[in-house]
Amino acid sequence: MMQATQNNKLVSQLYKGISMKKTNGLFGCILLLMLAACNKEISNNNNFTPYTDNPLNDTAWIKTITGDAPIYKLADTIFQNSAFVDTFNLANEFSRSYGDSLEIELHANSLFDNHINSGGTGGVGGTPIDGIAKLEVLRLRTKGDFIKAYRPNSSFGYPLETAGGFFVRISKNNNELALTPGSSIKIKYSDIVDPLPNMQVFYGRETLPFPIGALDSAHTWIRDQDTSYIKTFVKQSGSTYKKGYELEAKKLRWISAQRYLDSTVAKTNIYAILPANYSNKNTQVFAVFDKSRTVLALRSDLSTRSFTTGNIPLRAKITLVSISKIGHDLYLGIKIINDVGTVINYSITPEQKSLGQILDYLNAL
């Protein structure tokens, strides 16, 4: 009460001084503004509510994300390994269909022991080997598939439009094999939409070889040195037509059909801002494009405590999707942006969801 009385007296004195001396008017107004600002700062000083013995209390961002950070467990939780397995004789021609939308072809004697699992650099001269090999194929069709596999559609920061991707691994006695020089693998497949022109072959650059962990934050797609466009096909069967791509790759593991988005369109950076509990240790944010099958991963920006990416076309419609793991709980945030460029800072408010609810949302993208 005494403090309030003193403040009232101070205001009264300021008002009286302003009335008596107009030349001091500006000074009086400044004091009043400073007084109001101080009161406001005090009232908003404690805007974070702590949770007793709860990982939600951790609001710190870190420069280097260690392997025990929750986002690594999140990636392993979200990733759904639906790869199928087959076997074949390396000495024979290999041609096999899987359903009515995928065919894989390999020439005889086209693989050698690359010693990937033992840290070696490959056989001498890539000498072909024979025997029974194991083929594993994981297929990425939708935008949600690329999110679950943590393989966004970008090449060194430049957005790509995809027509699907594959993880292809061939091994013998648990040793991973590679294509001999001059050999290739042909993947003939029907996509979820009609074939698009100007698709090219891209390979995934890995810094944390899959499947050691699902999350490889430095992953990017690198275009094949042969920049010719992927062949397409149309095959009639009765009254129906089967359409697709004939992708020929010179490397195994991550392979995709992609093309660069229009480089002439003006672009901008965007920033996703989440509540203090959601940091770069426990959250991943993706930009999902509406008009193309494109997903970009937003990187964490330590200086602004936000997630950001560049090369977003102006006027584009995108959806920002955040996925978080805090303690034992999962969170999903969704922000629809109809017109990129009007605002570049976007706030996301995640909600707690079950794993099934998150997967249902991603599968529908």
The per-residue pLDDT string of the chain (365 residues; one tens digit each, 9 = 90 and over) reads: 444 444 444 434 434 443 444 444 444 433 333 433 433 332 233 345 566 667 777 899 999 888 889 999 999 999 977 899 999 999 999 999 999 899 999 999 999 997 654 333 344 457 899 999 999 999 999 999 999 999 999 999 999 999 999 999 999 999 999 999 999 999 999 999 999 999 999 999 998 777 676 788 889 999 999 999 999 999 887 888 899 999 999 999 999 999 999 989 999 999 999 999 999 999 999 999 999 999 999 999 999 999 999 999 999 999 999 999 999 999 999 999 999 987 899 999 999 999 999 999 999 99
Query: At residue 318, what are phi and psi to the nearest 5 degrees?
Result: -135, 165
| Range 24-43 burial, b when 16+ CB lie within 10 A, else e | eeeebeebeeeeeeeeeeee
Helices (H) and strands (E) in the chain, counts: 5, 22
CA 181 remoteness from chain centre: 32
The full set of domain ranges for the chain reads 61-65+264-363, 80-260
CATH code of 80-260, in short, is: 2.60.220
> What percent of the chain stands above pLDDT 70?
82
CATH code of 61-65+264-363, in short, is: 2.60.40
Residues 179, 104 contacting (CB under 8 angstroms): no
Tell me the pLDDT tens digit for each residue of 161-208: 999 999 999 999 999 999 999 999 999 999 999 999 999 999 999 987
Question: Residue 323's closest CA among 357, 364, 276?
Answer: 357
Residues 192, 141 contacting (CB under 8 angstroms): yes
Between the CA of residue 167 and those of 4, 25, 224, what are the distances in Å?
70, 73, 16
Q: Count other C-beta atoms under 10 Å from residue 96's C-beta.
A: 12
Residues contacting residue 241 through CB under 8 Å, at least 6 positions apart = 234, 235
Gyration radius (Cα) of the chain, Å: 28
Question: CA 182, 188, 191 angle in degrees (round to 5)?
Answer: 135
Cα separation, 196 vs 189, in Å, equals 13
CA atoms within 13 A on the CB side of 115: 9
Cα separation, 163 vs 141, in Å, equals 8
Global confidence as pTM: 0.82
Tell me the pLDDT tens digit for each residue of 51-72: 666 777 789 999 988 888 999 9
